[in-house]
Amino acid sequence: MQKTGLSQSVFEFNRKRFVQQLKPNSIAVFNSNDIYPISADSTHPFEQHRDIFYLTGIDQEETTLILYPDAENPAHREIVFVRKTNPQIAVWEGHKLTAKEATMVSGIKTVYWADTFEQVFMDLARHSEHIYINTNEHYRAKVETETREDRFIKWCKELFPYQKYEKSNFILQRLRSVKAPEEIAQIKHACSITEKGFRRVLGFVKPGVWEYEIQAEYAHEFLRNRSKGFAYTPIIASGSNSNVLHYIENNQQCQNGELLLMDVGAEFGNYASDMTRTIPVSGRFSTRQRAVYNAVLNVKNEATKLLVPGTLWKAYHKEVGKLMSSALIDLELITKKDVLTNSEAYKTYFMHGTSHHLGLDTHDYGLLDEPMQPNMVFTVEPGIYIPKEGFGIRLEDDVVVQASGAPINLMANIPIDPDEIEGLMNG
């Protein structure tokens, strides 16, 4: 079993909140991800669909969840279907959940084998008025692969063309964006693993090392601390590579005088951390590098203060734009006249968003037109990118919105002060 560190009560509470949002006489279905092929008999490592994990805690392929709060039979108000194992599967693939173990993880008492799903669902769905399907409505989503969820939806609509179909995702966007204390603890632990990796790398980086060697240092430290590895594809970008926002080749040699931008984060129990630090390869910032670094750090600190309950997403980014405009004027990258002519002149040097939700997904769920709430977790990641000077600087921490006062920085222990970074690299 996956050791998530979360008790079944967390998943029970998540289901309770979800079903409270359903229309009367509704049935909702959630499917696990497939194991995706590469070619021949090669496959990618399995990653559970975060929605079914959020509702059950089960981290296993071929899992399906039915929630039908108005089912006549109380035993059918929550049903989870798991893959039936056998000695051959155990030998080749390892242990799979028993029915008892599935209940222990999820708190769901009714557990059936996956091969019975279609018949059970048909018997229940014909009595329902609404069927909630789980489409991907994330604002960054671009999915070209047909998922297990897609196949179910197609099959279901052919079978029940006259039912009223609703979308689960908008309910989950709202629910998942506000974290339970146990979830925040998971993210904080992922951040602590990321800290270990960063401190290790500070003692490793020097002129002549390769970006992929640095990636390997992080990977080793993450794995030895019970993380499955990186929460997302790591960016290890030296020199001019630091101006490429999604540079993932990580195959260049670090040179004396360059800066090294590292956007990395460990996962823990399927929860993500997301850190960016920019350090001098030689162990010392130049005067210009330090000036730009301090400007980014100041914008990050001031932007963090804006993440309070009631703040609207668009207004927040507009205010951060003003902070960045002032910083760029001080650095003589833009002028006051540039800003008067174009309020978004700063985007020449800072062209991405400052914050995104963080949780089970690195770019986690959240309805961006709704005000921020306590216990939402956000990244704060301003940057200044100057291709003509051969470097870019981004700094990023993960913070929790508080009911009152400034957000709590889950990465407060990860070195970010330039003097501290230089001290650790030269100590």
Of the candidates 415, 422, 426, 387, the one whose C-alpha atom is nearest the C-alpha of residue 280 is 422
Confidence tier at 2 by pLDDT (50, 70, 90): very low
The answer to whether 272 touches 47, Cβ cutoff 8 Å, is no
Predicted pLDDT at 88: 86
User: Helix, strand, or coil here: 35?
Assistant: coil
The answer to whether 230 touches 248, Cβ cutoff 8 Å, is no
Q: Work out the average pLDDT over 251-277.
A: 98
The per-residue pLDDT for range 192-237, each reduced to its tens digit, is 999 999 999 999 999 999 999 999 999 999 999 999 999 999 999 9
Confidence tier at 3 by pLDDT (50, 70, 90): low
Report residue 19 as tokens: 């079903």
Give the chain's length. 427
Residue 73 scores a pLDDT above 90: yes
Residue 143 scores a pLDDT above 90: no
Confidence tier at 427 by pLDDT (50, 70, 90): confident
Sort strands 78-82 and 110-113 into parallel, antiparallel or unpaired: parallel
Report residue 395 as tokens: 């700094």
- How far is it, in rounded angstroms, from Cα 417 to Cα 427? 15
Structural domains present in the chain: 8-177 (3.40.350.10), 181-426 (3.90.230.10)
Of the candidates 388, 389, 366, 362, the one whose C-alpha atom is nearest the C-alpha of residue 376 is 366
Lowest mean pLDDT among 41-45, 330-334, 384-388, 406-410: 41-45
- % helix / strand / coil in the chain, to the nearest 5? 40, 20, 40
The per-residue pLDDT for range 315-352, each reduced to its tens digit, is 999 999 999 999 999 999 999 999 999 999 999 999 99
Predicted pLDDT at 85: 85
